[in-house]
Amino acid sequence: MGIFAGGVVFSTLLPDLRLNLAGAEINSFWIGSVLVIVLTGLYTALGGMWAVAYNDAVQTVILITGSGLLTIYGLYTLGGWHELRQLCGSDMFNLWKPLIPPGVEEGYAPNSLLWIINNINFQYFSVLITIVSAVVMVAVSYLTQPPEYQKIESLTFGTATAEDRRQTRASWDWREVLASVVVVACILGAYLYFRG
């Protein structure tokens, strides 16, 4: 998604940017996409996981701030939340879409696997990918030799020592638990509210 977003930003901000390589013309979308890949690889290679973590932290602040400002501006411009609901209709506020959207008749043979995958809602696609990933992890774990315990000690919850568990437990208190409960309550509230 980030690669595509980089291409969109470049094609929007620099629509006339073109590059000719060996007779092939590359437009600004592809220049932006390739630059995102190269720059991401470069700062990851040079700075390691610290660079990735700091970059993610900065992006988080920018995304949350930008999303908040855009939401406030958009609702103000429209005339409020009720105007937004009236303009969009109840279907746009429904997080639980049908598995296959109504009115989709073209493309692959109806009800074939490729037709279903092509028309599947993102929410169901996420569940499908999670199941496929779990099956692959289990299959790979049974098809490979178990690693030596010394190499994986303290890497996972199952290999954590008593000292690791004690340090983990000491690293959080009631504030983190409360914050987690608030986040889960907000997610549940959103699912309950956005039912169409």
| Residue 177 included in any domain | no
CA distance 55 to 75: 30
pTM of the model: 0.46
β-strand 18-21 against 24-27: which pairing, if any? antiparallel
pLDDT at 196: 62
Which tokens hold the place of 53? 């973590």
Number of domain units in the chain: 1
pLDDT at 49: 86
| Residue 74 included in any domain | yes
| Residue 143 included in any domain | no
pLDDT at 126: 81
How much is the average pLDDT of 11-26?
84
Residue 9: pLDDT over 60: yes
| Residue 31 included in any domain | yes
Q: Which residues pair with 18 in a beta bridge?
A: 27
CA of 164: how far to CAs of 149, 153, 196, in Å?
15, 10, 46
How much is the average pLDDT of 99-107?
59
CA distance 106 to 68: 38
In 3D space, the residue among 74, 43, 73, 79 whose CA is nearest the CA of residue 58 turns out to be 43
| Residue 146 included in any domain | no
Residue 101: pLDDT over 70: no
| 60-90 pLDDT, tens digit each | 999 999 999 999 999 999 999 899 888 887 7
pLDDT at 108: 64
Q: What residues contact 81, with CB distance under 8 A and at least 6 apart?
A: 75
| Residue 42 included in any domain | yes
The single-letter code of the amino acid at 164 is D
| Contact of 160 with 168, CB cutoff 8 Å | yes
32 or 183, higher pLDDT = 183
Tell me how crowded residue 179 is: count the other CB atoms within 10 A of its CB.
11
Q: Which residues pair with 94 in a beta bridge?
A: 195
pLDDT band at 94 (very low <50, low <70, confident <90, very high): confident
Which tokens hold the place of 14? 């620099």
- The DSSP output letter for 23 is T
Q: Which residue range forms the structural domain that includes residue 4?
A: 1-88
The single-letter code of the amino acid at 189 is G
> For residue 111, is it left (φ>0), alpha (ψ between -120 and 50) or beta?
left
| Residue 58 included in any domain | yes
Q: What is the mean pLDDT of the chain?
A: 85
pLDDT band at 181 (very low <50, low <70, confident <90, very high): very high
CA distance 134 to 156: 16
Query: Which single residue is written with the structure tokens 């638990």?
Result: 177
In 3D space, the residue among 123, 120, 119, 122 whose CA is nearest the CA of residue 105 turns out to be 119
pLDDT at 75: 93
CA distance 150 to 167: 20
| Residue 122 included in any domain | no
Residue 105: pLDDT over 70: no
